[in-house]
Structure 1
Amino acid sequence: MAAIRDGFQSRIGFVLAAAGAAVGLGNIWGFPTQAANHGGGAFLLVYFIVVFLLALPALYTELYIGHQAQANPVKALKLAWTEKAPKVGATAGYIGLFGAIVMLSFYSIVAGWMLAYALEPFARLFGLEALSEFLKSDSLERNLLFTPLMLLLTASIIFKGVKSGIEAWSRRLMPLLLVLLVGLIVYIATQDGAQAGFSAYLQPDFSKVTDPDLIIAAMGQAFFSLSLGVGCMMIYGSYLKPNENLPRLTASVAMLDTGVAFLAGLLIIPAIYVAQHNGVQVFQDGKLIGEGQLIFAVLPELFSSMGEIGLVVALTFFVLMAIASLTSTISSTEIPVSFLVENHGVTRRSATWWVTATVMLASLTIIFNFEWLFGLVIQVFTQYQLPLMGLFYFITVGWMWRRGNQLALECKGWMYYFAQYVRFVCPILMTAVFVNVAFNH
């Protein structure tokens, strides 16, 4: 008798988990930086349009494949391509699996930085200056300590499965993330200089809306911020009950993820202007200084200038960043774990240890070759794998899978036109994103 497959027990549990997978450093770190560098309100306007035109359909297709197959990405894509070329589907599944490991290998390092910075205010509070400097240092030793810590934290949740682990912790972490985010926005809004930041973010300069660089940046950000192209959404979709209303759930996840990105902009961009008001150099040649400097130099300098309350603000901000990191590492870890459990009969506990050990080895490879490998891995992953896999999913649902074709044939009303849009328009838009992101940047 086949074992009953674990899954989400409630719609809100799924929405929070899937939004948690999507909500990560791309939303809270990447989105505000892109907005600051591409016209503020103009970028925001284009971003919302692109989410509706491209990211929402991409999210639906990835969830749809997993939901229909009720299986991990390797099984699901093999099934989707069974009638045409099962080896092509399985190969794409393995590429996604490899991509999840690669993403975890660098994401766990960055998540470890967030964890270290979250602990740093405690060191300052107790006068432990040496420890404070270590936690802020860009050192090999810090990476070797905090990367495994983040991996173990992730593993401790994955051990417990979907219902007791992923769903239960998503229901705790996501509301906490939202509360921290709103609380920080309210506090930053009271600081001198914040008003200029709100104006820059919320008032579009319509002359910039047609800027090709802005449009491409918005397309890339919208796609990447939803964690599409790796299989995170596919595996979560597979844990939904077969009779769930997928279009409605897709819209809920996209709205929550986009809402968090919007709120992150309401926090970060006014904070940038507050820092500038306090004498911190923020812009260089009209562009925001490097993203790494923003998170690990500009904002900590701002927090330090706030006096004792700055300790609380710094702690809150980096706890927020650590939570955003954790909700993303959980979803990415579940992809290879589910593969080992379902395709090779490995127990969940053993699979989690194997995946954690593999990611740790990959992370160590990056840590010991950081100067050249870290940036290269991120570039290959974000500029090539994610958009190509997104394009592959559109083709899979729209053209290759019998169920995908039935989507177009059986749907009525607006869903019929949506199915045609996924088949014909989305692959063209996704190809445009890939070509521009990969070859023009």
Structure 2
Amino acid sequence: MAIRGEFSSRLGFVLAAAGSAVGLGNIWGFPTKVASNGGAAFVLVYLLLAFVLAYPVLMAELIIGRSTRSNMVDALGKISGSWVGRATGIWGCITVSLILAFYAIVGGWMLVHFAESATSLVGLSAASDWLLSPSLPRDIVFTAGFLVLTSFIVIGGVKAGIEKWSVRLMPTLVLLIIALIIYVSFQPGAVEGWSAYLVPDFSRILDPDLLISAMGQAFFSMSLGVGTMLVYGSYLSKQENLPGIGASVALVDIGVAVIAGMLIIPSMYVALNNGVEIFTADGSLIEGDTLIFTVLPALFDTIGGVGLIVAFTFFALMVIAAVTSSISMLEVPVAYLVESKNLARKKAVMVMTTVIFAASCIILVNFSTLFGFVISLTTQYSQPLLGLALCIFAGWVWRRDAILQELKEGDPYAEDTLFWRIWPWYVRFVCPVVIAVMFYRSVI
């Protein structure tokens, strides 16, 4: 059996885990949710729910992962002692593979726009025109390119691949966001954007829709439920204090989401000032792919020559955000193939990349039918139910003394901490109820 990898430093783990959590959703979903749901009031609710709901589930994944030193399938099999755990782990591997199948398509679009901004900078107008003309061959080529980029990093393993690149990419991501914030803040219209983002409307704070929206954002932005944090946790040193390191991951993820908002919302109001439409027919802010691929490129076009440099920087940022998430997704099924099926890492990566690319191609060929369906199936239905299952395994199936023993590895006095007084009953009673209510509201 292959020797398991391990993160060489606390910083390496925090940046890799935060990179997994910091995906495209933080940059194109979170800011518009903030501006459309009471500004800073939403940020406050989100911060609260990130620690009330997402952090306990994150801790469940980290503790299970490090204790069992296993992939998701074997880990849940070990703590449950039955086929139910293994079946749940396989369900998680299938879910994360399907998420990566549609995520790779979106990552491919990011590469398209990054390549287009590069060709525009050097004056290759024919190449730019081809890149901006949607077509199946273009999408297949760039989806493949995105998956090759992801697999190149994952083949390197934990230390030479995931950790090495996370330590480089995450600081670059933050520096690019800050550089763009400084530039955008000096443009006409930015002040209105800052106001929409930072001025709280406390009358909205108990709005059920705001609470559900903030809860969903907190849960999904930390990439919980699909085993990424469990697998990363399994590569953690036994000397690390788990509650502390989990809090660090949550804070970095929240921090990046908040500073992404400082870039996106002022940018939208600068676009509005330059004559670009930023509102939908019902008066809410445009979000998602329309925001990234229509509104912001239109803004870059209105600010002349410097707009090309801004566009290049922005899409570099989007590619980095996409890759730091995709490497953690690919690692989940790869870890299973390496450890349970005894495949060499390189072969396991190639097998899974090929399978996921085939799924991406099926989605692309049947785009109008499958793209939205796969997103709903995985993120709206499967992910919260997997989160619920992990809470049940950690709260009800796994023995409490085994959990405490694992926490004591990194902190001999874990039994006397506030975390141990609250977390076991919280993950047993509160989290399952809250996730079940969120799931019911989002589905019904």
Tell me what 2:50 maps to. 51
Per-residue Cα deviation, 1:312-368 (whole angstroms, up to 9, x for no partner) = 110111100000000111001111111111001100011011011000110010010
* TM-score (structure 2 length as normaliser): 0.95
Q: Please tell me the residue identity of whatever aligns with 2:47.
A: F
- Contact 1:398/1:404 (CA < 8 Å) preserved in 2? no
Which deviates the most, 209-218 or 421-430? 421-430
Kindly report which structure 2 residues correspond to 1:3-402, keeping only aligned pairs within 5 A, or say none: 3-82=2-81, 86-284=82-280, 285-402=282-399
CA distance in 2, matches of 1:301, 1:182: 21
Q: Please tell me the residue identity of whatever aligns with 1:43.
A: F
How far off its partner does 1:159 sit? 1.1
How far off its partner does 1:125 sit? 2.2
* Counterpart selection for 2:425 from 420, 423, 438: 420
Unaligned stretches of 5+ residues in structure 1: none
Which deviates the most, 276-285 or 293-302? 276-285
- Contact 2:39/2:199 (CA < 8 Å) preserved in 1? yes
* TM-score (structure 1 length as normaliser): 0.96
- Contact 1:391/1:431 (CA < 8 Å) preserved in 2? yes
- Contact 1:151/1:356 (CA < 8 Å) preserved in 2? yes
CA distance in 2, matches of 1:71, 1:413: 27
Unaligned stretches of 5+ residues in structure 2: 408-413
- Contact 1:21/1:331 (CA < 8 Å) preserved in 2? yes
Q: Please tell me the residue identity of whatever aligns with 1:121.
A: S
Which deviates the most, 36-45 or 310-319? 36-45
Q: Please tell me the residue identity of whatever aligns with 1:78.
A: G
The reply on whether 1:411 has 2:411 as its aligned counterpart is no
Which deviates the most, 37-46 or 311-320? 37-46
Report the secondary structure of 1:381's partner residue: helix
CA distance in 1, matches of 2:29, 2:287: 11
How far off its partner does 1:34 sit? 1.5
How far off its partner does 1:134 sit? 2.2
How far off its partner does 1:416 sit? 1.5
How far off its partner does 1:374 sit? 0.2
CA distance in 2, matches of 1:317, 1:403: 47
Which deviates the most, 225-234 or 34-43? 34-43
- Contact 1:394/1:422 (CA < 8 Å) preserved in 2? yes
Count of matched residue pairs: 435
Which deviates the most, 358-367 or 58-67? 58-67
The reply on whether 1:434 has 2:439 as its aligned counterpart is yes
Report the secondary structure of 2:70's partner residue: coil
Q: Please tell me the residue identity of whatever aligns with 1:299.
A: L
How far off its partner does 1:382 sit? 0.9
CA distance in 2, matches of 1:193, 1:9: 45
Report the secondary structure of 1:411's partner residue: helix
How far off its partner does 1:404 sit? 6.9
Per-residue Cα deviation, 1:206-227 (whole angstroms, up to 9, x for no partner) = 0011111111000001100001
Q: Please tell me the residue identity of whatever aligns with 1:359.
A: I
- Contact 1:219/1:433 (CA < 8 Å) preserved in 2? yes
Report the secondary structure of 1:283's partner residue: coil
Q: Percent identity?
A: 52
Q: Please tell me the residue identity of whatever aligns with 1:73.
A: M
CA distance in 1, matches of 2:89, 2:401: 17
Report the secondary structure of 1:288's partner residue: coil
CA distance in 2, matches of 1:392, 1:197: 40
Alignment root-mean-square deviation, CA: 1.5
- Contact 1:50/1:222 (CA < 8 Å) preserved in 2? yes
How far off its partner does 1:128 sit? 2.1
